[in-house]
Amino acid sequence: VKLTSNRYYLDFNATSPFAPAVTSWLAKGDFAFGNPSSVHRTGKVARRLMLEASEALFELFQLPEHQFDLFFHSGASEGINTCLKGFACDAFKQDKRVSIAVVGSDHSSARQVREDLIFHGHEWIVLEVNREGELEVDKAIEKIKAAKYPVLLNFTWVNNETGVVFPLEWAKRIKEQTGCRVHVDAVQAVGKIPNWCQLLPELDAYTFSAHKFGALKGCGFTFIKPDLPFHPLIRGGGQQKAYRSGTENTLGIQSIPIALKELKTKYNFEEQNQATRWLENKMLELIGERGEVLGQKAQSRNGNTIDFRLDQTPAQTLAMALDMAGVDVSNGSACSSGAVIASPVLLAMGRNEEEAKSAIRLSFSAYLKLDEVREFYPIIESILKRYIP
Ligand SMILES: Cc1ncc(COP(=O)(O)O)c(C=O)c1O
């Protein structure tokens, strides 16, 4: 948990340091720099490395290559925008409309797409979660059945703020019962749940982001079924079967399977979850009735996240105190500019404005150990005690 910065970095859902295997690979310093579209040898080397990365990903995620295409992009915000807008744009050019269904607790890169689609006449559907942050599957099915147009559902496998898991089987059931298509935001699954690399081939698309699991920033990838209606977001030289034009980020792409292969062999969910839950229980003992851990009673949770709040204590107060004590955490209610807003995820979970401005998220490495948690718990304890009378 302690990094070269000599701080306790407890914000792995925001981004991660390089995986050890990626650091060793980077240290070699000899990289293929060619443009994968070039016809000369240098370009071909880069192309080969990219294809090898792509093959490795199909193997890792156990998806049949004849059922899916794979394209790389700049990260999940782009991947999600591409899938949702691509589905809508394909209909629009035939003078048709679509219905996009998102969940109230989805990441902003899905929720904010609304602004770009409704003025073209597409329908925007927001599905509900309960107080634990779990999708109301039956209500979702009803809403999707009542949609005006063909539906694409954005389904977040693991929530970035609460760590609540929506099992992929739920998405499969929704698809079977409504005939909708499903894009899975799989960003927060990697290194946080036991079955992170077991994707269901029945679903239509999956988007991942490299910097969330120790690979390079500015890179991500999407598995997509060729028959999912699609129109590219980024136009240009037609690279990657025209799914995403632009010279590929070969270095970022190569780093992805390096990080994932290491994770697959070393990740131990039980160990991570045991450490996380130990800390959570200690914190709950302190907090008692004067706050809560969000999603604590959800049926399925990830192994690395504790999203908590104290009554009458704004998130920035706690986050600042922890920061001064050398602990990096996320203030769930900070937007990218750092301004404090009520967390849309907590609002979707039925919390009021004040409550939604008080969440702090601790999120840990895939390799978290009980010993480490025991080491930094006293710091957290002393800060919490300051605010809990
Ligand atoms: C669930 C989820 N989806 C999408 C994203 C966007 O990812 P990126 O930073 O790669 O654009 C994030 C990043 O926080 C996320 O947590």
Q: What is the position in ligand 1's atom list of the atom closest to the CA of 209?
A: 10
Residue 140 binned pLDDT confidence (cut-offs 50, 70, 90): very high
Rg of the chain in Å (alpha carbons): 21
Residue 6 binned pLDDT confidence (cut-offs 50, 70, 90): confident
Q: Which of 106, 160, 302, 330 to mutate to test the pocket of ligand 1 (most atoms within 8 A of CB)?
A: 160
The reported pLDDT for the residue numbered 333 is 60
> What span, in angstroms and rounded, lies between the C-alpha atoms of 212 and 76?
10
**Strand pairing category for 69-73 and 220-224:** antiparallel
Residues with CB under 6 A from ligand 1: 75-77, 107, 109, 156, 160, 185, 187-188, 209, 220
Q: What is the DSSP string of 124-158?
A: EEEE-B-TTS-B-HHHHHHHHHT-SS-EEEEEESB
> What span, in angstroms and rounded, lies between the C-alpha atoms of 283 and 285?
5
- The predicted model gives 261-276 an average pLDDT of 98
User: How far does residue 77's CA lie from ligand 1's centre (Å)?
Assistant: 6
Pick from 42-46, 80-84, 154-158, 329-333: least confident: 329-333
- The predicted model gives 190-203 an average pLDDT of 98
Residue 213 binned pLDDT confidence (cut-offs 50, 70, 90): very high
Q: Residue 260 pLDDT > 90, yes or no?
A: yes
Pick from 5-9, 239-243, 262-266: least confident: 5-9
The reported pLDDT for the residue numbered 1 is 61
- The predicted model gives 363-379 an average pLDDT of 97
- The predicted model gives 148-173 an average pLDDT of 98
The reported pLDDT for the residue numbered 2 is 64
Q: Contact, 343 vs 359, CB < 8 A?
A: yes
Q: Which of 77, 207, 256 to mutate to test the pocket of ligand 1 (most atoms within 8 A of CB)?
A: 77
The reported pLDDT for the residue numbered 381 is 97
Q: Residue 340 pLDDT > 90, yes or no?
A: no
Residues 6+ positions from 197 with CB-CB distance below 8 Å? 60, 61, 62, 190, 260, 264
Q: What is the position in ligand 1's atom list of the atom closest to the CA of 77?
A: 11
The reported pLDDT for the residue numbered 384 is 96
Q: What is the position in ligand 1's atom list of the atom closest to the CA of 158?
A: 1
Q: Contact, 232 vs 14, CB < 8 A?
A: no
> What span, in angstroms and rounded, lies between the C-alpha atoms of 128 and 166?
13
106 to each of 112, 133, 162, 387, how far by Cα in Å? 10, 10, 11, 30
Q: What is the position in ligand 1's atom list of the atom closest to the CA of 78?
A: 11
